[in-house]
Structure 1
Amino acid sequence: MSDRPIRRAVYAGSFDPPTNGHLWMIREAQALFDELIVAIGVNPDKKATYSVTERETMLRTITAEFPNVRIGTFTNQFLVNYAKSLGAAYVVRGIRTASDYEYERAMRYINHDLQPNISTVLLMPPREFAEVSSTMVKGMVGPDNWQTIIRRYVPDAVYQKLIQDHQQKKM
Structure 2
Amino acid sequence: MTTQEDTAVYAGSFDPPTTGHVWMIEQGARLFSRLVVAVARNPEKHYTFELEQRLAWLRAIAAQLPNVEIASIENEFLARYAARIGARYVVRGIRNEDDYQYERGMRYVNADLSPTVSTVFLMPPRELCEISSSFVKGMVGPEGGEEVVGRM
Segments of structure 2 that go 5 or more residues without pairing to the other structure are: none
Tell me, yes or no, if the aligned pair for 1:6 and 1:34 is still in contact at 8 Å.
no
Question: Equivalent residue of 2:115, what SS?
Answer: coil
Match of 1:62 in 2: 61
Q: Counterparts of 1:111 and 1:30 in 2: how far apart (Å)?
A: 22
Question: Equivalent residue of 2:151, what SS?
Answer: helix
Q: Highest CA radius of gyration, 1 or 2?
A: 1
Q: Counterparts of 1:147 and 1:128 in 2: how far apart (Å)?
A: 19
Tell me, yes or no, if the aligned pair for 1:10 and 1:37 is still in contact at 8 Å.
yes
Higher mean displacement: 142-151 or 21-30: 142-151
Match of 1:113 in 2: 112
Tell me, yes or no, if the aligned pair for 2:4 and 2:87 is still in contact at 8 Å.
no
Aligned-pair CA distance for 1:150: 1.7
Q: Counterparts of 1:122 and 1:96 in 2: how far apart (Å)?
A: 10
Match of 1:42 in 2: 41
Distance change in 2, residues 1:5/1:72 (3 Å) = closer
Q: Counterparts of 2:74 and 2:53 in 1: how far apart (Å)?
A: 16
Answer yes or no: is 1:98 the counterpart of 2:94.
Answer: no
Q: Trace 1:16-165 onto structure 2 (pairs within 5 A).
A: 16-153=15-152
Segments of structure 1 that go 5 or more residues without pairing to the other structure are: 154-171
Q: Number of residues paired by the alignment?
A: 152
Tell me, yes or no, if the aligned pair for 1:6 and 1:35 is still in contact at 8 Å.
no
Question: Equivalent residue of 1:121, what SS?
Answer: strand
Q: Which runs of 4+ in 1 moved over 6 A?
A: none
Aligned-pair identity in percent equals 53
Counterpart residue identity of residue 121, structure 2: L
Match of 1:161 in 2: none
Q: Counterparts of 2:4 and 2:77 in 1: how far apart (Å)?
A: 24
> What TM-score results when the alignment is normalised by the length of structure 1?
0.85
Tell me, yes or no, if the aligned pair for 1:9 and 1:89 is still in contact at 8 Å.
yes
Q: Counterparts of 2:132 and 2:42 in 1: how far apart (Å)?
A: 17
Tell me, yes or no, if the aligned pair for 1:9 and 1:91 is still in contact at 8 Å.
yes
